[in-house]
């Protein structure tokens, strides 16, 4: 058992009322939170073998990144010969060229780097979407190996696409099915799988049908980029006369475990379809701004009762950055400085937890008894009162990923006092640079 004491606890346990507990403490037994309360009460009550003294700093649940691309690492610093002029060109000139070059070793190392950064910046669960068309078979297993080595919680998927030919499409389908089946054999509840699809614009009717058949009986959902740019909408209208969400609905893509990432270009009618199917949406503010695709209307989505979470889309591993970007994007977009005060915390602190809850058997994202012990300690001494009504403002304006000093996942300390355990960081970074350099020469 581990005791964490002398903490400002931010519980995010909205159901039970109290968000901030001063002089708080909690007990971790194996991989679960066993008790949450006051330090004075818990110190004498339990027989713990390890004590972490938070020394008056914040302890809160680890953050969740609901849409991520671990494979995007080697794009950092990669020079494009022709700068992209729109979203489709970003895909064609960068991502669809980069993913073709990924070898098995590249997949492993390009995943280790953002996984390390996730631990460093306080993300304890991520939902990934992977592509490596010339190394499809076993690619999710390689990612799982990296995830396991670092000890984070993750849900993985391979993005099926027609863009590299039928043989690779079939390999993608097989990879998803085999990985999802393999996850069912695991007994640790740390890694799960979803069926990945790239986007409507690279999927034929025949492939969508084949994917629908492949998931029969698997009790899983699809994770797919949805109307991320206007190009996806134009393509869908041309192919089918239907908008993206409508077209994919015909093939049974939307169910309660499915994730529609982005949804920048969807209508209210399309929102209603996703709502009726129980499908979650993931908003990626930095990526949408960076790719200049527009701003998803998350205010309307949330008002309609849709489950909208927050992700980084590979732009960063620091979810605190995404919180800041989402906060300013919607104020800017709506011309309203009062916009997004409730929407952003709802996405990141409530909805991300509910989305992840669909793929793991116990809850994460709250400091409460019975939740998985996935939590972080922040080096932050609040300079203004920290209360139930002010904690979000502290996290938004006072905290970044660099404040995280300790990260615990599944009851295991992955980073303590900024030292990440079980991995030689210098060696990993040096080897990653070497692999990236080789990839850039092939690019
Ligand atoms: Zn994405």
Give me the DSSP letters along 25-40.
EEEEETTEEEEEEEHH
CA of 440 to the centre of ligand 1 (A): 21
CA of 9 to the centre of ligand 1 (A): 33
Q: Which of 336, 356, 376 is the last residue of a domain?
A: 356
CA of 311 to the centre of ligand 1 (A): 9
CA of 130 to the centre of ligand 1 (A): 9
Q: Does residue 152 carry a pLDDT above 90? A: yes
CA of 225 to the centre of ligand 1 (A): 6
Say what the pLDDT of residue 290 is: 95
CA of 94 to the centre of ligand 1 (A): 13
Residues 70 and 51 occupy one common structural domain: no
Q: Does residue 81 carry a pLDDT above 90? A: no
Residues 389 and 283 occupy one common structural domain: no
Q: Does residue 370 carry a pLDDT above 90? A: yes
Say what the pLDDT of residue 258 is: 98
Residues 391 and 272 occupy one common structural domain: no
Q: Does residue 79 carry a pLDDT above 90? A: no
Residues 337 and 384 occupy one common structural domain: no
CA of 283 to the centre of ligand 1 (A): 10
Give the pairing type, strands 153-156 and 191-193. parallel
**CA-closest candidate to residue 359, choices 220, 158, 185:** 220
Say what the pLDDT of residue 354 is: 98
Q: Does residue 353 carry a pLDDT above 90? A: yes
Q: Does residue 306 carry a pLDDT above 90? A: yes
Residue 207, number of CB atoms within 10 A of its CB? 21
**CA-closest candidate to residue 168, choices 133, 200, 138, 192:** 133
The pTM (predicted TM-score) of the whole model is 0.97
Residues 179 and 41 occupy one common structural domain: no
Whether the Cβ atoms of residue 61 and residue 76 lie closer than 8 Å to each other: no
Compute the distance between CA of residue 81 and CA of residue 102 in angstroms, rounded to an integer: 19
CA of 312 to the centre of ligand 1 (A): 8
Residues 147 and 267 occupy one common structural domain: yes
CA of 435 to the centre of ligand 1 (A): 23
Does 402 reside within a domain? Answer: yes
Residues 398 and 409 occupy one common structural domain: yes
Phi and psi torsions of 318, nearest 5°: -105, 105
- 189: its two tokens: 């509840």
CA of 95 to the centre of ligand 1 (A): 10
Say what the pLDDT of residue 169 is: 98
Domain housing 176: 63-356
Does 393 reside within a domain? Answer: yes
CA of 68 to the centre of ligand 1 (A): 6
Give me the residues paired with residue 308 across strands.
281
Does 442 reside within a domain? Answer: no
**How many domains does the structure of the chain reveal?**
2
CA distances to 37, 174, 246, 340 from 273, rounded to whole Å, are: 42, 28, 8, 24
CATH code of the domain covering residue 401 = 2.30.40.10
Look over the chain and give the mean of its residue pLDDT values, rounded to a whole number: 97
CA of 206 to the centre of ligand 1 (A): 23
Residues 49 and 68 occupy one common structural domain: no
| Residue 15 backbone class (left: φ over 0; alpha: ψ -120 to 50; beta: rest) | alpha
CA distances to 58, 63, 340, 350, 409 from 14, rounded to whole Å, are: 17, 16, 19, 9, 21
Q: Cα dihedral sign for 293, 294, 295, 301?
A: negative
CA of 261 to the centre of ligand 1 (A): 7
CA of 35 to the centre of ligand 1 (A): 37
CA of 293 to the centre of ligand 1 (A): 13
Residues 118 and 57 occupy one common structural domain: no
CA of 101 to the centre of ligand 1 (A): 18
CA of 115 to the centre of ligand 1 (A): 16
Give the pairing type, strands 2-10 and 50-53. parallel
CA of 67 to the centre of ligand 1 (A): 6
- 147: its two tokens: 């995830």
Residues 15 and 43 occupy one common structural domain: yes
CA of 313 to the centre of ligand 1 (A): 5
Phi and psi torsions of 138, nearest 5°: 80, 0
CA of 99 to the centre of ligand 1 (A): 13
CATH code of the domain covering residue 256 = 3.20.20.140
Q: Which of 319, 334, 356 is the last residue of a domain?
A: 356
- pLDDT tens, 231-252? 999 999 999 999 999 999 999 9
CA of 69 to the centre of ligand 1 (A): 6
């Amino acid at each position: 058992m581990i005791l964490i004491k002398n903490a400002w606890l931010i519980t995010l346990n909205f159901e039970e009322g109290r968000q901030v507990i001063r002089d708080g403490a909690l007990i971790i037994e194996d991989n679960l939170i066993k008790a949450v309360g006051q330090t004075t009460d818990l110190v004498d009550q339990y027989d713990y073998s390890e004590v972490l003294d938070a020394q008056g700093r914040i302890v809160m649940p680890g953050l969740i990144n609901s849409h991520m691309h671990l494979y995007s690492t080697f794009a950092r610093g990669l020079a494009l010969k022709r700068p992209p002029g729109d979203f489709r060109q970003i895909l064609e000139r960068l991502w669809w060229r980069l993913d073709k070059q990924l070898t098995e070793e590249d997949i492993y190392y390009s995943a280790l780097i953002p996984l390390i950064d996730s631990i460093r910046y306080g993300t304890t669960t991520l939902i990934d979407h992977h592509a490596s068309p010339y190394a499809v078979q076993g690619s999710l297993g390689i990612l799982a190996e990296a995830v396991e080595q670092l000890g984070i919680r993750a849900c993985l998927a391979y993005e099926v696409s027609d863009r590299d030919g039928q043989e690779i499409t079939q390999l993608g389908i097989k990879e998803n099915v085999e990985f999802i089946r393999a996850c069912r054999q695991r007994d640790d509840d740390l890694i799960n799988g979803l069926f990945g699809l790239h986007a409507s614009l690279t999927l034929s009717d025949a492939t969508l049908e084949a994917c629908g058949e492949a998931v029969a009986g698997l009790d899983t959902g699809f994770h797919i980029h949805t109307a991320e740019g206007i190009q996806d909408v134009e393509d869908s209208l041309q192919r089918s006369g239907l908008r993206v969400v409508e077209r994919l609905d015909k093939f049974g893509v939307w169910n309660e475990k499915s994730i529609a990432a982005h949804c920048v270009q969807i209508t209210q009618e399309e929102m209603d379809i996703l709502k009726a199917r129980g499908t979650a949406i993931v908003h990626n503010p930095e990526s949408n701004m960076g790719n200049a695709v527009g701003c998803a209307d998350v205010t309307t989505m949330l008002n309609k009762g849709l489950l909208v979470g927050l992700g980084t889309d590979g732009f960063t591993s620091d979810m605190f950055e995404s919180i800041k970007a989402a906060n300013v994007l919607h104020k800017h977009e709506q011309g309203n400085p009062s916009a997004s005060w409730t929407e952003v915390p709802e996405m990141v602190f409530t909805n991300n937890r509910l989305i992840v809850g669909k793929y793991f058997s116990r809850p994460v994202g709250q400091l409460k008894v019975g939740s998985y012990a996935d939590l972080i300690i922040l080096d932050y001494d609040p300079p203004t009162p920290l209360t139930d009504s002010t904690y979000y403002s502290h996290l938004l304006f006072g905290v970044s990923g660099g404040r995280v000093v300790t990260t615990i996942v599944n009851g295991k300390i992955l980073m303590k006092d900024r030292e990440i355990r079980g991995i030689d960081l210098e060696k990993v970074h040096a080897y990653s640079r070497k692999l990236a350099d080789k990839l850039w020469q092939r690019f």
